[in-house]
Structures are given as structure tokens and as C-alpha cells.
Structure 1
Amino acid sequence: MAGRREVVLDAGIEVVGLQGIRALTHRAVDAVAGLPAGSTSNLFRTSGALLDAIVVRFAERERANAEAMFAGATPRTAGDLAGVLVAFAHDATGPNRALTLARYAILVEAGIRPALRDQLGATGANVNAWFRAWLLLAGSADPERDGPIIMNHWTGIVLHELARPAPKFDPASQIHTLLTSLIGR
């Protein structure tokens, strides 16, 4: 069972993801969390402290989701890795839509707040290392080059789906084509 801090931070992610960064207030988080007024401000005295903690929490949740989703996956070909990324795109635009929207809102905010850039860079470094390892397994000759190309394309596909949901979202063809053109096999 989640403690009060996690409940508050998850509610903060929900506020940011569904209402935008400007809606992030202590009062809004209390309301979404179903807690008495003042509960969030007792844990996080400033909105900056709240946002910093939300960034850490959403990174924890994304990592936990990815680990649960891909437990035991060992993509040994471009096709295998494409399948993993397609499943992840469906998860990011479906069950974890609010979490993904929060990530994009925070990325935009990082363009304004340099401290967030540093924080996102630190959490992103772990994801990048994990993805480079998968690229090597799948046969990439240059994971340093291929990783950003693939993930930037994936990010764009997901962003477009979040902004303009398609009745039958299916990124498989694009992702498979990109990976096989970069990696081969």
C-alpha cells in the first residue's frame, strides 16, 4: 500500500498529466488525492519542491512500468525490439496516458527551468543505458547513434497519438521500418 507521500505525488502526476503544469497547486493535488486541505503543503512547502518530487516519482513509476511490462524480454532482432517498443507505445497512450502526458508537460517545463533539465538528464541516463543494452542485443552496430534516432521517433509517435488520438492507433509499421532500416535483421 502506498504511503501518504506516494499518494500525494501520484495525485500530482495526475494533475500535471490531465490538467497541465499550470494546474499544479497544493490545493489541486489535495483534491485529486482526496486528502484534507494542507496535506500536500505539509509534505512539500513550495511548488518547486512538489514538482521536483513529482519528477522523481514519475521516473520511478515509468521504470517500474517498463520493468513489469518487459520482464524477461530479450530482444535479439530488430523485429523483437520493435515489438517491445510498439507494446510500450500502446501502454504509454493507453493505461499510462496520464503518466506519459505528465512526462511531456515536465519536458516542456524543463525548457524554462534549468534545474529540471538536470534532474531529467539524471533519470534519463538510466533509461538510455538500458536501451543501449537492448540495441546491442538486437544487433545494432552503433547504439550511440541508433538510440536517439529510435527514441526520438518513438517519442514523436506517442506525442502525436496523445495530442490527436487515432481510432485505431497502430505504430507497428513505422517502428518496424525504422528499426530494420537502422539495425537490419
Structure 2
Amino acid sequence: MLADDRNVMPDELKFEGDKAFFTAALDRADLIVHGRNSFEDQPSSPQRRRIFLTRTVAAIAPDPANPKSALWNPDGAPFETALKAAGVDAGTIAVIGGPGVFGMFMDRYDVFWLSVAPRVRLPGGEPCFPGVPARSPQQILAAHGLHAGEPQMLDPAEDVSVTPWRRDA
């Protein structure tokens, strides 16, 4: 789960090591893609180029709140059109969710970084991917042709780790 039953990421799911890993990854990205409930809440967030998924526009529109952001309705335009609207034609794209957004890109990821906090339980919470909890996140990633790499420990005291899931070249 990536949020509780109110669709909020609770404090017990926030770890400094995970936050540092996430921030560093976003700092390296050329574009951030996310849905309405996902955001980084960092001082540099407004400076990042992004595509915000929404059903409030027909296809593509500039974001009136951020000149570095494009609003995209996936039902109205292909992702490649959204990339052009965002001014990105190459580089690293960070998809930060939520579950519907993650699900849209399952067959396009080169790598998906899956963080796990095994001591945290969020019954009835927001799953990370469509199909969870019937299948585990790892089973879903594997079903989409991704393979687990070596996990990295982010918070040894809490047993929080991140594992790269990569697509074969």
C-alpha cells in the first residue's frame, strides 16, 4: 500500500532514507509524471518539469498553476503528445504514481524502483498497483517482464529497502 484508507500517506510510511533516495532520483529526472494525489512536497518541486494526469482537460493543456507543467488527459491524447507539450523529447522520466498512473506505464518501464517497508501495515489502504492485494507488487512487476535486481537497504533499523525491477534489454 502507498497510502492509508483515506488516500493519505501516513507518517509511519515516511522514512528518511526512502525520502533521500526519492529526492535524489527526482533531481536526476528530466520529467516527472504523476496523478492528482501524488506530489513530492519539496522546495524544488515547482522547478521540475512535469506532466500532471487529469480528466479536467480534453487532451493537453498548460497548467495555469505552473508554467513547467502540462495537464494531460490520457483518454484525449497519446503520451507522446503530452511529452511534446511538456517540452521533453529525451531523458529520464520519473513516474511517481498513483496506482492508475503506475498501471498505465507497466509495459513501458525500463526500471521500476519498488520500496518496501515490511513492518508497516495499512489495511484497506491505497494499493501501489492495480491488482494488489490479489497479487503482490513483485508478482505484478514480474508479470510485466521486469526482473528484480539487488535490493538496497534504505533504513536498516526499520528494514526498509528499495529494489530495482528492470526490463531485459
Structure with the larger strand share: 2
Quickly name the TM-score band, shorter chain normalised. under 0.3
Higher helix share: 1
TM-score, normalised relative to structure 2: 0.25
Larger Rg: 1
TM-score, length basis structure 1: 0.24
